Amino acid sequence: MNIEGLEDYMLECTNKKIFGVECLGCGIQRATALLFRGEFIAAFKMYPAIYSLIILAVVVVINLFVKFRYAFQIKVALLLLNVVIIIGSYIMKMSSVL
């Protein structure tokens, strides 16, 4: 199945639908679909935080079963990294639109 076929099942961005402006999460569904298709560079270009979010999710899930030293600090650092990437890429995307 190609990504165009998957787009039929993706949720619409309510923010974009109501206000006409993309939100901070716009692109994550398409990036995930691209990731499953093996288009890793295209997924990164679509939503740059995709890989850091996956790393954060993996660390959180592993930490549910295996307790390790500095787990809290690692999760906070990854969370902050994700926030910086998401906001930075959003600002870059919006500045190129204007």
Q: Number of structural domains, the chain?
A: 1
pLDDT of residue 17: 85
> Which of the pair, 84 or 23, is modelled with greater confidence?
84
> Which of the pair, 3 or 83, is modelled with greater confidence?
83
Percentage of residues in the chain having pLDDT higher than 70: 91
Longest dimension (CA), the chain: 47
How many beta carbons lie within 10 A of that of residue 71, not counting itself? 14
pTM equals 0.82
Domain that holds residue 50: 3-97
What is the pLDDT averaged over residues 18-35? 89
What CA–CA distance (Å, rounded) separates 77 from 79? 5
